[in-house]
Chains A and B, each alone.
Chain A
């Protein structure tokens, strides 16, 4: 119904010009079909490439050897770690012993002073 009204109300020449203008702005069906076909072709191509890459990864994976374990280096690292841990713990003990040593020194000093003091007063 609307189309008929259009036809009746709008002069044919104007209508054609307007339609031509619209057509110029949009892709045709034929071009659409071709685009879809091109896209499909690209998807297929990519599929084949991925399959190829997968095969290559698999192949390389089979070829790859486990990383060489350098026994000497591992032993060295382990030994360095052991030494660091033990040294740190030994330093902890030394520092605490130092605290207690000073406490003992101070105690002796105080006793000495008290001793001198008492002798001085008694003599």
Chain B
């Protein structure tokens, strides 16, 4: 794989070139098979970005978040990368990265938040009121037909600006590098392209993400659905964690020890509640209320508010189909929590899931406390502050709770 950046004003254009033996079929770190659509993309930094160049390691890692799924054996960057980054790529992926030269980037002072506007990243923003936000906004690719015009990235960017915080909106078409399964981040970490390219100028020494206990420790989303202390995407010592640390921008998961129900409680109880938006389709007037994500998040919100489900979606709708099947589900811990706490669950699209899961208020209480190793993993400059917040607002799990986490997906 050969990767080259070209700058045009505030646009950074990336070009991929496949080596022999590489193809358009690739695999993401979480195991998802993907197909490359085209070989160029761009990242547009906001107005007022200085003329200085990012550190070569920052450019290289940003390119790597796009190219990793298709790279075999070696990766050649257009600028020399430090020993530290080359070592992290070698240890993590078994690839030879080059050319090697120059010194590694020293971490800056500030912690930025990768802010999508969903409940999890709003929770992080609420817990860290002084941290600047970096928002990734999808824009169409000039060469790839856009079949996803219902994705309202403009609405999400507007909501992010509406927070009144220090927000950097970075526009990019890099999601259209994926032809299959659909446009999206080639690696989850590609959302950090903007944070990487502005890290030098913004003096960043870490980037906080909204990944919660399900994503970090329970193998949630499209990952393995079991306890993952060595999660390659999000653990501090995983391959991505080490690569980001090597460029002086360690990954920080302030809410990595608590569940989505608790991040939702923080977000909806914060002054940013009017900016919370997990739906990617809704317009300025609100979430669509019809997509699968709206249904899933409504279950969590109803559970947090201890009220019946408010939805027009019925069990026979395609978006409710997976809840008619037996478990396992991605994000199953939250389905259990929802089924245990929502009154009248037997009259909702989650009735079948509730029958299978048999969750109770007592059996889901561990999801209201913080998993201590998640705090131990937070880099030192920010650990104490987060630890105090977690102790104060949620308390820590006891041995029995911890066993629930550590045996997740392993018991029959």
Contact = CB atoms under 8 A, between A and B. Distances in A.
Interface of A: 87-88, 91-92, 95-96, 98-100, 102-103, 106-107
Contacts of B16: 99
Contacts of B19: 103, 106
Contact of B17 (A91, A92, A95, A106): A106
Chain B contact patch, size range: 10 to 19
B20 A96 contact: no
Interface in B1-50: 2, 16-20, 22-24, 35-39
15 contacts: A91-B143, A92-B144, A95-B37, A95-B144, A96-B36, A96-B37, A98-B39, A99-B16, A99-B36, A99-B39, A100-B18, A100-B24, A102-B17, A106-B2, A107-B20
Contacts of B2: 106
B150 interface: no
B147 interface: yes
A106 B2 CA distance: 10
B52 interface: no
A96 B16 CA distance: 12
A102 B143 CA distance: 16
Contacts of A103: 17-20, 22
Interface of B: 2, 16-20, 22-24, 35-39, 143-145, 147, 179
B179 A91 contact: no
Given A91-B144, A91-B145, A92-B145, A99 B179 contact: no
A96 B19 CA distance: 15
Nearest to A92: B179
B24 A99 contact: yes
A103 B24 CA distance: 11
Contacts of B36: 96, 99
Contacts of A106: 2, 17, 19
Nearest to B18: A103
A87 B24 CA distance: 20
Residue of A88, A91, A103 contacting most chain B CB atoms (<10 Å): A103
Contacts of A91: 143-145
A96 B18 contact: no
A88 B143 CA distance: 10
Shortest beta-carbon contacts, A-B, top 5: A88-B145, A95-B38, A103-B18, A99-B39, A107-B20
A92 B23 CA distance: 15
